[in-house]
Each structure stands twice: as structure tokens, then as C-alpha cells.
Amino acid sequence: MEPTEAERLHHLLMDLIRAGGLLQPDQTVPGIGVTMSQAFALHELDAGDPLSQQELADRLRLEKSSVSRMAAEMERKGLLVRERVAHDQRQYRLRLTELGHTVHAGMASAFHEQFEAWAASMTDAERAALLTGLPALVRAIRQHGA
């Protein structure tokens, strides 16, 4: 029996996760020395003003306690500083250090090169289909919860 579209999508997404090396979220990004979670945190923190641990947790869709442990580890690595909020000493604002900005820039460049190589190996029609289909999939996932 022919697999349904939902079954095909399921298998393709599982293959994507395996091919992208995302099964072990704590594995380090090759050549960078940060975990995948830390890589996403670097990206979020390099996009603007410092964030609270809760704001970062919301953006990454992680528990605040997980972000707290991750921030402490990133601080030990010299990638960010945790600064107490003046009006609420229980809260921290997270700000990248110069090293954090540098690591993020190198990581972003490496990922960009990888994405360029992947895109170059696809046809125009395949790239166009992904650019239409992936946003629709993200929207559907967000509507129905992950």
C-alpha cells in the first residue's frame, strides 16, 4: 500500500533530522564548540537588545530552567554575561560578550556556506517548492503545537 502524504512527510522529516545531525541536541556544532541549543541562543542574543532568561526560553521554546543552566554554561565559556535586572534582582538580562559575537559570526558564516552548497545542488523548482512548503509546515506546526 502506498504511504499517505502524512506518512511520507513524517519519514522525510525524520530523515532531515538525522541528516542534519539534530538527534543529539547537546552535540557540539562542528568546529565551533557550542551545542545546538547554545548556537540557537547565540543567534537570538545577537539579534538585538539583551534578553531575559524567560524571553530567551520563549524564543527557543525551552523551559526556563534549561535556559538558566545553558546561560550559566555559556557564561563559563565567556560567550555571554548575565546581568541582574536593577528593578528585580531575581532576574537576569543576557548579553553576548565580544567572544560571543565572534563565535556567532563564525558559526553563521559556516552555516550560510553549508546552506549555499545545499541550495546549489537542488534544481530551481526544488528550491521554489521548499521556499513555499517549509513556511507552510512551520505555520501548521505552530498552529497545532509541536
CATH architecture label of 23-144: Orthogonal Bundle (1.10)
One digit per residue, pLDDT tens: the chain, 146 residues? 888 988 888 888 888 877 776 655 555 566 667 888 899 999 999 988 899 999 999 999 899 999 999 999 999 999 999 998 788 777 889 999 999 999 999 988 988 998 899 999 999 999 999 999 988 988 888 888 75
Q: Residue 119 and residue 142: Cα distance in Å, rounded?
A: 25
From residue 43, alpha-carbon distances to 31, 34, 47 in Å are 17, 12, 6
Question: Comparing C-alpha atoms, which of 15, 22, 10, 6 is closest to residue 111?
Answer: 22
3-state secondary structure of 60: helix
Q: What is the pTM of this model?
A: 0.77
Q: Strands, E, within the chain: which ranges?
A: 51-52, 80-85, 88-96
